[in-house]
Amino acid sequence: MSCIYCINFIKLKNYRILYNNSLNETSTAIRTLAGLPNNKRGLRKLQTILHTIQSLWSSLSLPFIPQPTSPFITEQRLLSDFHRLEDVMETPSGVFKGILDRFQGITVESEHEYNATDDFPEKLKRSLDHWQRKQNRAIWFKVSEKHSNWIPALTKNGFQFHHARDGYLTLVRWLPENEYKNLPPCAHTMLGVGGLVVNKEREEILVVSDRYALIPNSWKLPGGFIEPKENLVESGIREVHEETGIETEYETMISIRHSHGGLFDTSDLYFVMALTPKNFNIKRDEREISKAKWMPFEEYLIIQMFMNKSSFSKIYLDYQKCGLCFVLKKAKHQILKKEYCLYFMKFKSKKSDEKKPVKKNTKRL
């Protein structure tokens, strides 16, 4: 394949893709925009760039070479071609239309394809024959609750339940007979957060007692499950406010606890973060919380030791002692354009004059 076509998909400054009509002009333009010197060293770097582009192109398995209609292709066009989430082309009559993914899988959604007048079993058979001829791999059916009459025919034709969400069920069938069944697992881990809210002036920790706790009248950190599409810190701040009425801001991540055999036989990830309170008057959620109070740091440490629990508060004190914290940085993926949260270790400035909790009794505790 000529390098000139691969140049269509080079990502350059200002998130634009350069397109030229000659390889020489393209090479010169890339050198200029990428800051490459016009010598042998620059040529070697240019060759590396071209090789990378060719490898990327091959990995996408694109069956065609898109031709731009203007000198610049927008970044959105690049993302569309990169993900390869396009309507299945040349679908014969009587075959379900779906979405072709980059792994040669097909996703059919009942919301778009349901027709009460169709003979569903017969149409499904024709569709499976067509997809096998096209050498498609995983066939996914996303079935809405109101179209659940599809499910018996799907299971009869080898489809298996994969996952369910509010309002729909997803079934899948792996078509290749001589290829490893390489399907992603359904979501299998619950995420929870706990907020270690510290009143540094009074050396106290915010604790609650659940109304439905396994051990009545026991104390724990406020927290709960992370909602869909909610960030860790947002969840921790929300849970603390809902249960106690205390508004907080993020200070540092403290620890992550990983366990198995949780709710619905899932695994469990529990994130504990230190939060700084903005107010101190407690207004507990009476539906879920039977008691809430500010507890002296020493008392909370003793309770944790007695209950043989992980001492999140002790870990927090150790972080404070050595000036360590986990900083939160929000960023955006350059290709996928999705926002994400990055947590990384950082040492606090020695000039920081923040008051550390439990100064006097840290060693004894």
Identify the top-confidence range among 219-223, 263-267, 301-305: 219-223
- The per-residue pLDDT for 302 is 84
Q: Which CATH class is domain 189-325?
A: alpha beta
Out of 116-120, 236-240, 334-338, pick the least confident: 334-338
What would the pLDDT profile of 79-106 be if each residue is shown by its tens digit?
444 344 344 446 788 999 999 988 999 9
Higher per-residue confidence, 15 vs 350:
350
* HEC string for 251-296: EEEEEEEEECCCHHHCEEEEEEEEEEECCCCCCCCCCCEEEEEEEE
Query: Is the distance from CB of 273 to CB of 250 less than 8 angstroms?
Result: yes
Q: Residues 9-24: pLDDT tens digits?
A: 443 333 333 333 344 5
Domain spans of the chain? Answer: 81-174, 189-325
- Residue 92 CB neighbour total at 10 angstroms: 8
* 47-68: pLDDT as tens digits: 676 666 555 555 544 443 344 3
Higher pLDDT, 153 or 299: 153
Q: Which residue has the higher pLDDT, 9 or 298?
A: 298
| 326 touches 344 (CB < 8 A) | yes
Question: For the residues 161-174, what does the mean pLDDT come to?
Answer: 96
**Residue 248 pLDDT more than 60?**
yes
Mark 266-293 as b/e (b = at least 16 C-beta within 10 Å): eebbbbbbbbebeeeebebbeeebeebe
Query: DSSP letters along 34-98, please?
Result: HT--SSHHHHHHHHHHHHHHHHHHHHHT-SS----SSSEE-HHHHHHHHHT-EEPSSPPTTS---
Percent of the chain with pLDDT over 70: 70
Average confidence score pLDDT of the chain: 79
Please check whether the domain covering 81-174 is classified as CATH 3.40.630.30. Answer: yes
pLDDT, tens only, 168-223: 999 999 999 999 998 999 999 999 999 999 999 999 999 999 998 888 888 999 99
